Chains A and B, each alone.
Chain A
Amino acid sequence: MLKVEHLAVHYGDIQALWDISFRVEDREIVSLIGSNGAGKTTILKTISGILRPSKGSVSIDGIRSDAIPAHRIVEMGVILIPEGRRLFRDMTVLENLEMGGFIDRARKLKDQNLKWISEIFPVLSERLRQIAGTLSGGEQQMVAIARGLMSDPKWLLVDELSLGLAPLIVKNIYDTLEEINRSKEMAILVVEQNVRLALKIANRGYVIENGRITTEGSGSDLLNNKEIKNAYLAMG
C-alpha cells in the first residue's frame, strides 16, 4: 500500500499542500482530480522524492520514504511518468527504454520487459532505433509510459498524460493502462485534468482544491456527484 499522511509541502515560503492524506491499495487505480494549480503534480513529485514534505509522511509498503533520495524511490517500486513526458529527446527510443530500466533489478528483466512492451505498444517496436524527439506526441507518450514500465514498478504514477494529445489517442492509452492494471496487477495513481476519463477508470478518486482534499469516494460516486458535475464536467 502507498500511503500519504497529513502531507504539507512548501515551495520556499509558499505553501502548496495542506494536510493531504490518502492511500493507494495494491492493484487499485486511484485518480486525483482538480483544477490547474490545485497541487496534484506537487503530490506526485513529493511521493517520488523530487520534493520534500515540510510535514507529514509518505510510506511505501509500510516503509517511510519521504527522506529517501529520489533515485532510490524507483528501487522501492514507485515510478513517475512525468507531465510533459520528459523523454531524453536526443537519445533513441531503445536508449530511453534502457534508461527506464536502469536500476539493477530492472536490468535483469530487460529482454522480458522489452518483449512485453512491444506487445502493448506494437508501434514502438518498429521505432526502437529512432530518436525519441522525432516521434509524434502520442508515440512519445507511449515511450514515456513504456520507459516507466521498464523499471518493473509496483506503483505507476501518471501525471497529465492527456496533455496536448488527440482524444482518441488518449482513450487508447488509458485503455492500455487499464489493461496493464489488470494483467500485471500494477497499482496506478492517475493525475488528470480530463476528469471524466480519470474517474471512469478509477476505483477511487480524490478531489483536490487549493492544496487540500475536499471530496473522496469511488470513481462512479464522484462521477455522479452533483458538485463535481457542476465544477468539472460542465453539465449542471
Chain B
Amino acid sequence: MLHVAQILSYGILNGALYGLVALGLSLVFGVMNYLMVAHGGLIMLASYTTFWAFFYTRIDPFLFIVVVTPLFFVIGWILFKILFQSLMKFPEGEKIKNSLLISFGLLLIFSNLAILFWTADERAVTTVYTGKVVQVLGVRLPYIGLGGVALAIIVIIALHLFLTRTYFGKAIRAVSLDHEAATLMGINVNRVCLVAFSIGSALAGIPGVLTSLNAFNPAISFDLTNKALIVLILAGFGSIKGVLIGGLLLGAIEAGGVYLVGTPYREVFGLILFVLILMFRPQGLAGKKA
C-alpha cells in the first residue's frame, strides 16, 4: 500500500510539472489557434539558460525564474514578429497547419543547435537540496518536486487572475472567443496576440527551471512537447483551468503504468491515453462539444 502511495505521489509531482509544461502551449492555442509545438524546445533552452546561469553564479536556480521568464517573453516577442505574425490573416484551419509546420521546424532547429553548442550529454543543476526528501506518513517527497507543485499552483492562479481581473487579460479572452467582435470593440487584436504569444513563451521559462534540476539533454524538447500535447487533449484545447488537472491526471496515469508494467513503458501510457481520448472524447475531458 505504501508502495502504491509512493508511486502515485511521484506521479502527482511529475503531473504538476506537465501542467506547467502545457500552460504556455494551451494559452497560445486558445487565443490564436497556433499549435506551437516548439514550446518543448523553448523549455529545453530555458533549462540550459538556467544551467549556465547557475554554473557561473551559483545562485539558487529557483531565483532565476525572475530572469528566465522575462528573457523568454522577449524571445517569444521576436519569434512572433519574425515568424508568426504573418499567419494572423489566415483562416483557422490554415493557422493550425502553418503554425504547426513553422514551429516543428523551430523545434528541430532548437534541439540541433543545443546539441551543437552543448553536446547531447545529460546535464543537471545540482543544488544543496537535490535528492533531499521529506517524509509524510512514510511517503518520500523530494523538495524539488514539491517546489514544482507549489510553482504550478502559483503560476496557474496568477495567470487565471490576470485573465479574469485585468482589462488586458479580459481582452485576451475576448480575442480568443471572437477576433472580429474584439476588433469592433476597439481591441488591437494583433497586439493582443503578440503579447499572448510572448506570455506563452515566457511560461516556458518556469518549467525550464524545474527540468534543469533533473537530468536533461537537448532531446527533452520532443518529450516535453509530447507531454504538453497530451495534457492539452486531456484538458480540452485552450482550456487554462483544465491544464493543471490534465497534467496531474497524466502524471498519475503514467505512475500507474510504471507500477503495473515497469519503467520502460512509462511514455506508452500517455500516448495510449492520447489516442483513446482523441477517439472517444475529442473535445477533451473537461471541454465542451464544439
Q: Which residues of A contact B173 (CB under 8 A)?
A: 88, 90-91, 95
Q: Which residues of A contact B178 (CB under 8 A)?
A: 86, 88
Within 8 A of B (CB), among A58-94: 69-75, 79-80, 82, 86-91
A18 to B96, CA, bound (A): 36
Cβ of B35 within 8 Å of any chain A Cβ, yes or no, is no
A67 to B80, CA, bound (A): 25
In the complex, per-residue mask of B137-177: 1 if CB is within 8 Å of any chain A CB, else 0: 00000000000000000000000000000010011011001
Cβ of A170 within 8 Å of any chain B Cβ, yes or no, is no
Cβ of A31 within 8 Å of any chain B Cβ, yes or no, is no
Cβ of A98 within 8 Å of any chain B Cβ, yes or no, is yes
A49 to B188, CA, bound (A): 12
A86 and B180 contact, CB distance less than 8 A = yes
B167 and A98 contact, CB distance less than 8 A = yes
Cβ of B183 within 8 Å of any chain A Cβ, yes or no, is yes
Please report whether the interface of chain B is mostly helix, strand, loop or mixed according to DSSP: helix
| Chain B: minimal CB distance from A232 (Å) | 28
B186 and A69 contact, CB distance less than 8 A = no
Number of contacting residues on B, CB 8 A?
17
A82 and B177 contact, CB distance less than 8 A = no
Within 8 A of B (CB), among A103-141: 103, 106-107
Cβ of B286 within 8 Å of any chain A Cβ, yes or no, is no
Cβ of B128 within 8 Å of any chain A Cβ, yes or no, is no
Among B171, B177, B183, B186, residue most surrounded by chain A Cβ atoms (within 10 Å)? B186
Cβ of A193 within 8 Å of any chain B Cβ, yes or no, is no
Cβ of A197 within 8 Å of any chain B Cβ, yes or no, is no
Contact of B177 among A48, A50, A89, A100 (CB under 8 A): A89
Cβ of A151 within 8 Å of any chain B Cβ, yes or no, is yes
A74 to B188, CA, bound (A): 11
A71 and B167 contact, CB distance less than 8 A = no
Cβ of A174 within 8 Å of any chain B Cβ, yes or no, is no
Q: Which residues of B contact A74 (CB under 8 A)?
A: 184-186
Cβ of A147 within 8 Å of any chain B Cβ, yes or no, is yes
Contact of A147 with B180 at beta-carbon distance under 8 Å, contacts A91-B173, A95-B170 already known: no
A151 to B178, CA, bound (A): 18
B189 and A88 contact, CB distance less than 8 A = no
Cβ of B187 within 8 Å of any chain A Cβ, yes or no, is yes
A100 to B182, CA, bound (A): 9
Nearest residue, chain B, Cβ from A107: B167
| Chain B: minimal CB distance from A60 (Å) | 14
Q: Which residues of A contact B180 (CB under 8 A)?
A: 50, 82, 86
A126 to B186, CA, bound (A): 26
In the complex, per-residue mask of B177-218: 1 if CB is within 8 Å of any chain A CB, else 0: 110111111111100000000000000000000000000000
B183 and A88 contact, CB distance less than 8 A = no
Q: Which residues of A contact B177 (CB under 8 A)?
A: 88-91
Cβ of A102 within 8 Å of any chain B Cβ, yes or no, is yes
Contact of A70 with B167 at beta-carbon distance under 8 Å, contacts A90-B177, A91-B174, A99-B174 already known: no
Nearest residue, chain B, Cβ from A75: B186
Q: Which residues of B contact A80 (CB under 8 A)?
A: 184
| Chain A: minimal CB distance from B170 (Å) | 6
- Can you name 8 extra interface pairs (CB under 8 A) apart from A75-B186, A99-B174, A99-B185? A50-B180, A71-B189, A74-B186, A80-B184, A82-B180, A82-B181, A91-B174, A151-B185
Closest 5 CB pairs of A and B: A74-B186, A86-B181, A103-B186, A88-B177, A70-B183
- What are 24 A-B contacts with C-beta separation under 8 Å? A48-B184, A50-B183, A70-B183, A70-B184, A71-B183, A71-B186, A71-B188, A74-B184, A79-B184, A86-B180, A88-B173, A88-B177, A88-B181, A90-B173, A91-B174, A91-B177, A95-B173, A95-B174, A99-B185, A99-B187, A102-B167, A102-B171, A151-B185, A151-B186
